[in-house]
Structure 1
Amino acid sequence: MLRDRFDEGTLDWRAKGFWQPDPPVPDAEFVAARHHLFGGAVTWPVLVARQAALDHNLTTMADFCARHGLTFAPHGKTTMAPSLLSRQLAAGAWAITVATANQLLACRALGVPRVLLANQLLDPVPLRWLANEVAHGFEALFFVDSVAGVEAITAALADQPGQHPLPVLVELGHPGGRTGCRTVAELVEVAEAVAAAPRVRLDGVTAYEGGLRDVESVVAYLDRTRAAVVELADRGLLGSEVVVSAGGSAWFDVVADRLGGDWLPGHHLRAVLRSGAYVTHDHGFYAEHTPFRRRPDDGQLEPALELWAQVTSTPEPGLAIVGMGKRDAPYDEGLPLPLRVRRAGGAVHPADGIRVTRLNDHHTYLHVPPGVEISPGDLLCFGISHPCTAFDKWRTIPVVDEHDSIVDILRTYF
């Protein structure tokens, strides 16, 4: 288990979604009480994680990677929840991927043994810190996509004691993408700069295909990445152990097909998949874009996150106002999806025909079709779209079992 020492593991008035007006309660004591989700221990809105779906998704992706010969380094930036990172490592993850220096620091503080920073690291202060941590046994890789980036590392470490090199992956991008060398010739130039730098070691090549919109573009890009790896190997710029990394959550099947396997003679190749949204999946963006829609026999993911909120007003026919908003629900990849209605007496019905039309900071507008009854005090369960922008809104998230009993608490550190 990773260390989770922050906030001393207690619930009090600061825990959004929990109703704790009394003195602080240790997490373990709260969980041991097995509070019911609708028994008064939480208030609305609240983001909830379903235990069974989390278990299923963790197993499904571990099995997928094992079946396809992929090493897994799931993107921890999705959740930044120590208990989930710990479970991902326990399920066989080789490393945890992060996006920022602060997330790298958090993982080190939590005891993650190996971290992949899927970004450039240019700030001299974190670079010097990382060099010291690597010298003391921490394993971390990060990306470079320019000679200037390599020079920034060299400059930061010029007066630092020690000889341990910082391992990097050179990044190949694509036109219109966010980062990465745009041509293989540029990639070779950066790799040669790494080879000449005194405190940097080239461990492989990385790519990110998530911004591409069709399978043909992804295939062409990953094939170009593979050819770039071969080019670097032929030039003698890669060691005996080579990392090739890619993988958002929309095309990991293509990553398995194009980068998996033993295709670099004379080297031990480690194909590293970085997908992260799988752990909770969703009812929107990833439900539509998951590779398992293309390959249903290879696995299925289940949405694990639910947002529960209360109807506060029904001011006119066809309109209901719910007490949650942009501070609570992701909305960058689609609005929340009404799933179920829970009446004050506990009866639960499908939210047929009800849809979200817009969100304010703390209010959600619902279109309610004729013949559907919604009353103030009713609770609505919403599915979400894009978990990456759900977790960052919640510091504490109750985990519930099939009986709606709270069996765990997720804490997030963004």
Structure 2
Amino acid sequence: MTLPPTPCLVLDRDALDRNIARMAAFAKVRGLRLRPHAKTHKSRAIAARQAKAGAVGICCATLWEAEQLAGAAPSILLTSPVAGAASAARIAALLRRQVALSVVVDHPAFLAALDGQLPADAPLGIVIDIDPGMGRSGVAAPQDAVALARAVSARPDLRYDGIQFYCGSEQHIPTLAARKDAIAARNLRLAETIAALAAAGLPPPVVTGGGTGTHGIDADAGLLTELQPGSYIFMDQDYGACELGGAGPFETALQVHATVVSANHAGWVTIDAGIKALATDSGQPLVTSGISAGSAYRFTGDEFGRLDLPADAPQPMVGSRIVLTASHCDPTVNLHDIYHLTGAALTEASWPIDARGHGDRVSPG
């Protein structure tokens, strides 16, 4: 294998496939629909592999992701609320492409934006987004969910598909017991909302949510009917520090390769992977191989990172290749264009990261 230029993403396709299979088997045994979140990988090739393994579809965080990944899996759920006539027009364009699409809504204003936009023969699936207490998005109270569900059900161009309940801040609580307690407290609101909808004659057809950190807890709680894990396919340092349970442990399939470009000081060297190659929101990446064990990374600029060596460790040569595990895989992926593949019996050297960025450079539809 010819090594790609650094900094770059290197994906172990075999480990990826084992992670995909492990989660798919877990969901099947537990009687849950699996809809993995494509915000992690942004890749048509990976979405297709997840669908082949049994996923009912994928989640997308943005309309741009949905536009780029349409057709790679049987259906798409847009998990972040959008607003305005321009977004409504892009959604309508996806429906005209015969994309099986559902979107989350947490305010009647977006229902109004859809007026006159949608094709008559392709109702848009609507999932009511429930705020689990994060204060980020979602309806604030069960009665608001009922009101929105009634408004959706009254329209022939819309289809009431259920509710979404995603506890993002709980996903990375390190210990399984503490995470379970936190989700149990959040689930009081979910159970109350499900009961209110049922009492109104609007029981949710699907209750979707969860993530890599809570998929096992969510399965045991018995309230969700569909799981949305994303990072399990790659794993990163943040999730690697968590006691996952459920279908875990998962393998680290994705790594960032870098090169030593300067070695002029005793005790540390500089590599060519800085904040343009590695996300910074979850701390420092983990130094995996290519240098003495115990070496520690720190960000030193757009293009550079510093590796501090343990006492008396040998100085690596300029040109040495270093392997890192990202602290947060999702935004790290968004900094790159290509997955460089390793594994047995490869027929492709790389996969494009089809949906990276935000899509402001193209016209909708």
Residues 139-161 of structure 1: per-residue CA shift (max 9 Å, x gap): 1111111222322223x53xx66
State yes or no: 1:274 paired with 2:238: no
SS of residue in 1 equivalent to 2:11: strand
Higher mean C-alpha deviation, range 220-229 or range 375-384: 220-229
- Does the C-alpha gap of structure 1 residues 192 and 85 become closer, same or farther in structure 2, counting only changes over 3 Å? same
State yes or no: 1:202 paired with 2:163: no
1:272 Cα offset (Å): 1.2
* Rounded Cα–Cα distance in structure 1 between residues aligned with 2:26 and 2:300: 37
The alignment-based identity, stated in percent, is 25
Per the alignment, residue 249 of structure 2 pairs with: 300
State yes or no: 1:82 paired with 2:44: yes
Per the alignment, residue 216 of structure 2 pairs with: 253
Match of 2:308 among 347, 360, 367: 367
State yes or no: 1:216 paired with 2:216: no
* Rounded Cα–Cα distance in structure 1 between residues aligned with 2:107 and 2:46: 34
- Does the C-alpha gap of structure 1 residues 216 and 351 become closer, same or farther in structure 2, counting only changes over 3 Å? same
Are the aligned partners of 2:292 and 2:314 in contact in 1 as well (CA < 8 Å)? no
1:133 Cα offset (Å): 4.4
State yes or no: 1:409 paired with 2:347: no
SS of residue in 1 equivalent to 2:134: coil
Q: Flag structure 1 segments of 5+ consecutive residues without an equivalent.
A: 1-34, 261-269, 342-349
Are the aligned partners of 2:92 and 2:119 in contact in 1 as well (CA < 8 Å)? no
Per the alignment, residue 360 of structure 2 pairs with: none
* Rounded Cα–Cα distance in structure 1 between residues aligned with 2:119 and 2:126: 20
- Does the C-alpha gap of structure 1 residues 112 and 123 become closer, same or farther in structure 2, counting only changes over 3 Å? farther
SS of residue in 1 equivalent to 2:250: coil
State yes or no: 1:337 paired with 2:286: yes
Match of 2:269 among 298, 320, 334: 320
Per the alignment, residue 206 of structure 2 pairs with: 243
Q: What does residue range 57-96 of structure 1 map to in structure 2 within 5 Å?
A: 57-96=19-58
* Rounded Cα–Cα distance in structure 1 between residues aligned with 2:347 and 2:239: 26
SS of residue in 1 equivalent to 2:148: helix
State yes or no: 1:151 paired with 2:112: yes
1:366 Cα offset (Å): 1.4
* Rounded Cα–Cα distance in structure 2 between residues aligned with 1:289 and 1:317: 34
* Rounded Cα–Cα distance in structure 2 between residues aligned with 1:190 and 1:222: 20
* Rounded Cα–Cα distance in structure 2 between residues aligned with 1:303 and 1:73: 21
AA aligned opposite 1:244 = V
AA aligned opposite 2:130 = L
State yes or no: 1:291 paired with 2:244: yes
1:319 Cα offset (Å): 1.9
Per the alignment, residue 131 of structure 2 pairs with: 173
1:194 Cα offset (Å): 2.1
1:49 Cα offset (Å): 0.7
Are the aligned partners of 1:401 and 1:407 in contact in 2 as well (CA < 8 Å)? no
Q: Which has the larger radius of gyration?
A: 1
* Rounded Cα–Cα distance in structure 2 between residues aligned with 1:68 and 1:388: 27
Are the aligned partners of 2:134 and 2:167 in contact in 1 as well (CA < 8 Å)? no
Residues 194-238 of structure 1: per-residue CA shift (max 9 Å, x gap): 233453221111111121354323122224213312321221124
Are the aligned partners of 1:311 and 1:377 in contact in 2 as well (CA < 8 Å)? yes
Residues 76-135 of structure 1: per-residue CA shift (max 9 Å, x gap): 111111111110110011011001111111122x54331010022323234244346436
- Does the C-alpha gap of structure 1 residues 399 and 406 become closer, same or farther in structure 2, counting only changes over 3 Å? farther
Per the alignment, residue 193 of structure 2 pairs with: 228
Equivalenced residue count is 347
* Rounded Cα–Cα distance in structure 1 between residues aligned with 2:262 and 2:89: 55
Are the aligned partners of 1:222 and 1:255 in contact in 2 as well (CA < 8 Å)? no
State yes or no: 1:311 paired with 2:260: yes
Q: Flag structure 2 segments of 5+ consecutive residues without an equivalent.
A: 174-178, 357-365
1:247 Cα offset (Å): 1.2
Residues 160-200 of structure 1: per-residue CA shift (max 9 Å, x gap): 66254321111111333311112112222222222334532
* Rounded Cα–Cα distance in structure 1 between residues aligned with 2:122 and 2:2: 52
Match of 2:337 among 395, 399, 405: 395
TM-score, length-scaled by structure 2: 0.87
Are the aligned partners of 1:124 and 1:153 in contact in 2 as well (CA < 8 Å)? yes
* Rounded Cα–Cα distance in structure 2 between residues aligned with 1:112 and 1:406: 21
* Rounded Cα–Cα distance in structure 1 between residues aligned with 2:68 and 2:55: 18
CA RMSD of aligned residues (A): 2.4
Higher mean C-alpha deviation, range 182-191 or range 391-400: 182-191
TM-score, length-scaled by structure 1: 0.77
- Does the C-alpha gap of structure 1 residues 47 and 179 become closer, same or farther in structure 2, counting only changes over 3 Å? same
- Does the C-alpha gap of structure 1 residues 380 and 280 become closer, same or farther in structure 2, counting only changes over 3 Å? same
Per the alignment, residue 188 of structure 1 pairs with: 146
* Rounded Cα–Cα distance in structure 2 between residues aligned with 1:194 and 1:80: 30
* Rounded Cα–Cα distance in structure 1 between residues aligned with 2:98 and 2:272: 48
1:335 Cα offset (Å): 1.2
SS of residue in 1 equivalent to 2:349: strand
